[in-house]
Structure 1
């Protein structure tokens, strides 16, 4: 037998192969006369040319047959002696099955030239790492070993390779559910933040991927939130945003299908034809980075942290508009004490921190009243009808920055189970709102929210005054408004002598705009530059506020609060509009003053977290890190702060919203 003659004195055997394969190969061998005698040849099924038979070539040809007949891979999808580049050095992989979707990318690499397993595995690892192949096979005809390349340093043994009609996931039958994600959550177990994970992704992948980092991370978070939501509401559904052994291109197909489903459920955030711009390999690394992170918690702090970084990095800082740290927002919410029946708006909403945290506060009050316990997956679970009615009808946000509006709409749609009243409008330039509201493209996204907002106008045909119970905002500080047509709509656009000014600080006009949004007796919390409270040139602004409202409180924030974006000293102003019943006008009354003592961030702008006596970060009852501040008591884990002191003050003063 010619095959046995060639194999003698080698370490190769044929016990792995079916007798019919061996017989077929034997019958196709032919001789060629060479200078130094006769040699045995075969016509290679992949290369379609005559190849001299050696022991390793026999094993290779038999394995090619097996891949075709047993596993169903076509010879067109296989390559032999595939060139693998290692810098200037080139090596050749014995057999490569190319990816079905990306035919230029290796899917499985097979090594038969190294008859010893250790040598073969080392060679395979280098080939897989150089090409990104998902699986590897070593065989000497007698033994065979299969590997799944889970990461560059870990090749997991598997029982076989998939057939042409299977994926590796089918073979592994690995299952992963929301309860597994809760158990493996890296944010809890490794006390990481989503921001730090995204920074790592940027360093490793995104910065060299040639894509818009904000857009691609936004898409990934959007998709992952959708996936977690489905698996939270159907605990028998497997998590899909996860690598189960698919090739990079198979994974991209799966993630894009998820994206399409998420866009269908949560409309108005991405265009219908929008896809993922990351390459399959870059997407694969990104999915691996995020797959063990649980985004849904008892609130949306996890996502806030990431978008604070991303949006500021992209655009907001140039406009002097910065994300308000969520602990500052929570202090304001506690101090203004929103009620289920009250309407609230943020006129410079950014990612909608103020409205969303109002929602959480009111929801907790509703759930406490109903005796429903709040879980650590509060944001993902189906909401009570009262909770949904509140977010659908009473919570609004406006911002002129489209990226921020998209983030805000996503967070609101998720928190509100599909409902949002976040609109892309310029709050200050309300005279031109109709240019947007009559535009069909704008209406496609924002019409429902606009219809609800119109109902709150004080005068049916005017966008100047509204009837909100609460306004909360951190308006942009930077830049002056110079357009005369805008300034002419504001009393603060005039000088004390009655003449119109040529320019006015944007935050000054926002003070008046916010007060116009408030009904009589309504209350406002607004973040302002410290200078507005003590500059002699701003006395007219202070007089304007005092004429229209009772000044409830001024809270000085630490200079590090808005770092690293700005070191501007800021204060929070809380007021209540004069009203005969809720807030009768008086000339002499007490005002609450406080100054934040703990910085909450270091000089670089990184948050400082509460630690135990061993220097370990303390987590709250829902596994969130706790920022070290003195604005309020964090769920009993820290001491009472400024908010609690104000609540005590309000009760003594018999303020309407704490009676």
Structure 2
């Protein structure tokens, strides 16, 4: 019997596991005849007895293989259905790894029963608080999250689990370059979206942080974009360590480092934040947010990762009160391909929002330029150096206008990053006098070029 058949119609999946791990478990499956048909069983690696292979149990048996075979934890340190006391009630944690030096103390706690992240994290929080476990994992076999429990209120993302011969400090302090980020992109490895991570941060710390959520997350994304951009220039890609990372330093030291990086980003990409803008999150809140974002690769082939996140933040901030509607990105792609804009043509969007149409137009024309010059676009297309014609096209031919100040700042960020220079994004209300606004825009173009 195949595990895919067992997981069918459940919320559990197999994408987090290697083909060899799946095949090894499938080879151990036996079928027991019942009046309702054949029921799959396997012998549990830890309990060493036959157990019914439900969807949840299949994921547990696979994750036991991850812990023992990939991470080399001896089975003698692993327990399943571990009893966690809540007063008179005892609940059962799916998997625990006990501390090497304190065999009665839980070191890693794994939750599988709740196949949705929010439910699973709530369960993890209660189990970790009850046991004192410093490391927690949630997975449904498709998505996965790793956390460090810093105190009962905060769970920080960590890039993965230490193996049996490492400490948590070892994996936090490993040199981490842009190449490493590409290989360990959380959005790929954990099968998540940046929007999902933002929602998780809102639930975890931002809702009660007493700050403007849009502003603070905008600052962090802006800062991380700069860190990736700077590492992608010249020969830094394989040598420079990324700075937007929580490497186990004090929370105060981390805030100083991120603020300094934000100041450099403001200087590089002017006109988005004021010169005196500061990160307002407390060191504790900032530490959680940096840990959540550090393993996310924001730059990709068309900036759609941050595009989606910014659109979500704008909508959350405005709550629809300004009548804003954002065109789905696949619709934008279709429209741009149908219009097929050319390098010698002008493009203006008079209700640009977060600049979806202008940015996708830029990428469409850039690909034409690269083809014309015999160059290939990679998956880091939006990050890499491009011919001067690409920058000239952004500066001279593409214009965007919107009346919402937050949308304009997002649009300027995307255009600055795309063009690495001047951006023609205006904060105006074209409904008042469209012809006048367009005239002003092209007057600006003429004065610049």
* TM-score category (smaller protein): 0.5 to 0.7
* TM-score for both structures, normalised by structure 1: 0.42
Task: Give the Å deviation of 1:455.
Answer: 5.5
Note the C-alpha offset of 1:335. 1.4
Residue pairs, 1:7-22, within 5 angstroms: none
Q: How far, CA to CA, are the matches of 1:247 and 1:132 in structure 2?
A: 17
Give the one of 403, 407, 410 matched to 2:410.
407
Counterpart for residue 507 of structure 1: none
Q: Deviations over 1:604-638 (max 9, x none)?
A: xxxxxxxxxxxxxxxxxxxxxxxxxxxxxxxxxxx
The 1:407–1:129 alpha-carbon spacing in structure 2 relative to 1, beyond 3 Å, is closer
**Alpha-carbon distance between aligned partners in 2 of 1:385 and 1:184, rounded to the nearest angstrom:** 32
Q: What displacement does 1:337 show? A: 1.2
Contact 2:396 2:445 in 1 (8 A): no
1:119–1:189 CA distance, 2 compared to 1 (3 A): closer
**Any conservation in 2 of the 1:425–1:433 contact (CA below 8 Å)?**
no
Kept after mapping to 2: 8 A contact 1:409/1:420 = yes
- Determine whether 1:304 maps to 2:307: yes
The 2-side partners of 1:380 and 1:194 are apart by 18
Q: CA deviation at 1:255?
A: 0.4
Alpha-carbon distance in structure 1 between the residues aligned to 2:358 and 2:199:
27
The alignment partner of 2:321 has SS state of helix
Whole-Å separation in 2 of the counterparts to 1:177 and 1:208: 33
Partner of 1:207: 207
User: What are the equivalent positions in structure 2 for 1:386-535 lying under 5 Å apart?
Assistant: 386-430=389-433, 452-453=444-445
- Please point out which of 351, 358, 361 is paired with 1:358: 361
* TM-score, normalised with respect to structure 2: 0.61
Query: Which structure would you say has the larger Rg?
Result: 1
CA contact (8 A) 2:173 2:248 kept: no
Alpha-carbon deviations, 1:195-239, whole Å to 9, x = none?
A: 111111111111121111111111111000000011111221111
User: Which residue of the partner structure matches residue 298 of structure 2?
Assistant: 295
Partner of 1:511: none
Alignment of 1:224-373 (within 5 A): 224-233=224-233, 234-235=236-237, 236-315=239-318, 317-373=320-376
- SS of 1:318's partner is coil
Larger relative helix fraction? 2
C-alpha distance in 1 between matches for 2:392 and 2:298: 24
Contact 2:350 2:402 survives alignment (8 Å): yes
Pick aligned residue for 1:380 from 380, 383, 395: 383
Q: CA offset at residue 328 of structure 1? A: 1.2
Distance 2:161 2:284 in 1: 17
The one-character-per-residue Cα deviations of 1:474-530 (angstroms, maximum 9, x if unpaired) are xxxxxxxxxxxxxxxxxxxxxxxxxxxxxxxxxxxxxxxxxxxxxxxxxxxxxxxxx
CA–CA distance in structure 2, aligned partners of residues 280 and 174 of structure 1: 22
Change (3 A) 1:117 1:329: closer
- State whether residues 205 and 282 of structure 1, in contact with CA within 8 Å, keep that contact through their aligned partners in structure 2: yes
SS in structure 2 at match of 1:334: helix
What SS does the corresponding residue of 1:267 show, helix, strand or coil?
A: coil
For 2:323 and 2:152, the matched residues in 1 are separated by: 46
Tell me: CA distance 1:400–1:133, structure 2 relative to 1, closer, same or farther (3 Å): closer
- For residue 56 of structure 2, what is the aligned residue in structure 1? none
Give how far 1:352 is off.
0.6
Aligned partners of 1:273 and 1:399: how far apart in 2?
Answer: 25
> What is the number of equivalent residue pairs in this alignment?
305
Report the CA distance between 1:430 and its aligned residue: 3.7
In 1, Cα distance between equivalents of 2:224 and 2:177: 13
For structure 2, the residue ranges without an aligned partner over 5 or more in a row are: 1-100, 108-130, 135-148
CA drift at 1:324: 1.0
Show the 5 A alignment for 1:556-595: none
SS class of match (1:317): coil
Once the two structures are TM-superposed, the CA of residue 304 in structure 1 deviates from its matched residue by: 1.1
Partner of 1:639: none
Query: What is the CA distance between 1:119 and its match in structure 2?
Result: 8.1
Contact kept, 8 Å, 1:263 with 1:272, in 2: the verdict is yes
Mapping of residues 101-112 of structure 1, within 5 Å: none
Structure with bigger RCO (C-alpha 8 Å, 6+ apart):
2
Q: What whole-Å deviation, never above 9, does each CA across 1:143-170 have from its counterpart, x for those lacking one?
A: xxxxxx986x97999999xxxxxxx89x
Query: Taking structure 1 as reference, are residues 399 and 206 closer, same or farther at Cα in structure 2, changes over 3 Å only?
Result: same
Deviation at 1:419, TM superposition (A): 2.1
CA shift for structure 1 position 129: 4.0
Alignment match, 1:642: none
Unaligned ranges ≥5, structure 1: 1-115, 135-148, 161-167, 438-448, 457-659
Aligned twin of 2:187? 187
Measure the CA separation in 2 of the matches of 1:329 and 1:319.
Answer: 22
Q: CA separation in 2, counterparts of 1:189 and 1:159?
A: 21
Of residues 308-317 and 277-286 in structure 1, the stretch that sits farther from structure 2 once superposed is: 308-317
**SS of alignment partner, residue 320 of structure 2:** helix
